[in-house]
């Protein structure tokens, strides 16, 4: 018997004025998978991410995570349930250090309560030290430990993508949505980022990834969901997607070559 998918998207619709950006979008993400979400520019990929994570409310349809409906919940509640995301443009706190960026992530920190600082200082310090050690471990994993005291705003584009992944890992999620992790990243750092995604997946973390780099998608993702004009055009293995005439047609006009070779 197959298990319930970790994430299920059912019939999502989103209109912006007279434009239908997402049109009856339905797909599922199996636990333990690295699922790719691809499509031509304007296919609705990031809008789907925003609907899943609560940054937009759908006009129709629903989203289920771990069997529970989360449609329209605010982003912070969805985050607390174990579903985290990154963005096309990293949203780090530029004026804080790399280490401080990670230490801000865990929820429910005792030091955030005024009375705890006065009446439970030992507990506050102990928790802060535990969070600091966890942050250092995560930075070592993404190979940014040597930059722990650097201001986040001084990092390169690739380093900022690694920092964003590190911040997500501090939340210890069950599902991570990555929005174009390869955008603006040089080949060396992209290879490192791909290796980290694969390693985390082997440890049990599930991913849903939007990406335009087809080499990266074909290497990392199985299955792949193809969007076109806000609807699912094809869902299947990398090879099935690569050879589907409808997918090739959707990518005509600049991106067809991404599937060649």
Beta-bridge partner residues of 13? 23, 60
Which residues lie closer than 8 Å to 212 by C-beta, 6 or more apart? 38, 180, 182, 183, 255, 258
Q: For residue 14, how many other CB atoms are within 10 A of its CB?
A: 22
Tell me the C-alpha distance between 244 and 224, whole Å. Answer: 12
The whole-number pLDDT of residue 129 equals 80
Pick from 251, 257, 245, 85: nearest CA to 165: 85
**Domain locations in the chain as residue ranges:** 7-92+171-259, 94-154
Three-class DSSP labels, the chain: CCCCCCEEEEEEEEEECCEEEEEEEEEEECCCCEEEEECCCCCCHHHHHHHHCCCCCCCEEEEEECCEECCCCCHHHHHHCCEEECCCCCCCCCCCEHHHHHHCCCCCCHHHCHHHHHHCHHHHHHHHHHHHHHHHHHHHHCCCHHHCCCEHHHCCHHHHHHHHHHHHHHCCCCEEEEECCCCCCCHHHHHHHHHHHHHHHHCCCEEEEECCCHHHHHHHCECEEEEECCEEEEEECHHHHHHCHHHHHHCCCCCHHHHCC
Q: For every one of its 261 residues, what pLDDT tens digit does the chain have, with 9 covering 90 and above?
A: 346 899 999 999 999 998 999 999 999 999 999 999 999 888 999 999 999 999 999 999 999 999 999 999 999 899 989 999 987 555 778 889 999 999 888 766 555 556 565 566 777 677 688 888 999 999 998 889 999 999 999 998 888 888 988 888 888 899 999 988 877 777 887 888 889 899 999 999 999 999 888 888 988 999 999 999 999 999 999 999 988 888 888 875 444 445 554
What is d(CA 46, CA 26) in angstroms, rounded to the nearest whole number?
Answer: 15
Question: Which CATH class for the 7-92+171-259 domain?
Answer: alpha beta
The CB density around residue 184, as the number of other CB atoms within 10 Å, is 16
pLDDT at 117: 56
With a threshold of 0.75, does the pTM exceed it? yes
Pairing of strands 231-236, 224-228: antiparallel
Q: What pLDDT is stored for residue 256 in this prediction?
A: 45
Query: If we measure between CA atoms, which residue out of 40, 58, 60 comes closest to residue 48?
Result: 58
Question: Around 148, how many Cα atoms within 13 Å sit in the side-chain half-sphere?
Answer: 17
- Do residues 216 and 178 lie in contact, with contact meaning Cβ atoms separated by under 8 Å? no
Q: Give the whole-angstrom CA distance, residue 31 versus residue 240.
A: 21
């Amino acid at each position: 018997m197959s298990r319930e998918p970790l994430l299920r998207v059912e019939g999502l619709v989103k209109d912006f004025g007279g434009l239908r950006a997402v049109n009856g979008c339905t797909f599922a993400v199996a636990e333990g998978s690295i699922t790719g979400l691809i499509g031509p520019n304007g296919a609705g990929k990031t809008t789907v991410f925003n609907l899943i994570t609560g940054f937009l409310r759908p006009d129709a349809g629903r989203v289920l995570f771990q069997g529970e409906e989360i449609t329209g919940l605010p982003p912070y509640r969805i985050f607390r349930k174990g579903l985290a995301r990154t963005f096309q443009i990293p949203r780090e706190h530029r004026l804080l250090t790399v280490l401080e960026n990670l230490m801000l992530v865990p929820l429910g920190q005792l030091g955030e309560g005024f009375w705890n600082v006065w009446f439970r200082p030992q507990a506050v310090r102990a928790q802060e030290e535990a969070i600091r050690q966890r942050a250092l471990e995560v930075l070592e994993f993404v190979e940014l430990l040597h930059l722990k005291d650097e201001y986040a705003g001084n990092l390169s584009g690739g380093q900022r993508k690694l920092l964003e992944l590190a911040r997500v890992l501090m939340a210890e999620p069950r599902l991570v949505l990555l929005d174009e992790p390869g955008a603006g990243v040089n080949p060396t750092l992209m290879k490192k980022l791909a290796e980290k995604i694969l390693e985390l997946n082997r440890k049990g973390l599930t991913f849903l990834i939007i990406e335009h780099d087809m080499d990266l998608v074909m290497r990392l993702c199985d299955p792949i969901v193809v969007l076109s004009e806000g609807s699912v055009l094809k869902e299947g293995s990398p090879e099935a997607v690569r050879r589907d005439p409808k997918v090739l047609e959707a990518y005509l006009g600049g991106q067809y070559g991404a599937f060649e070779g």
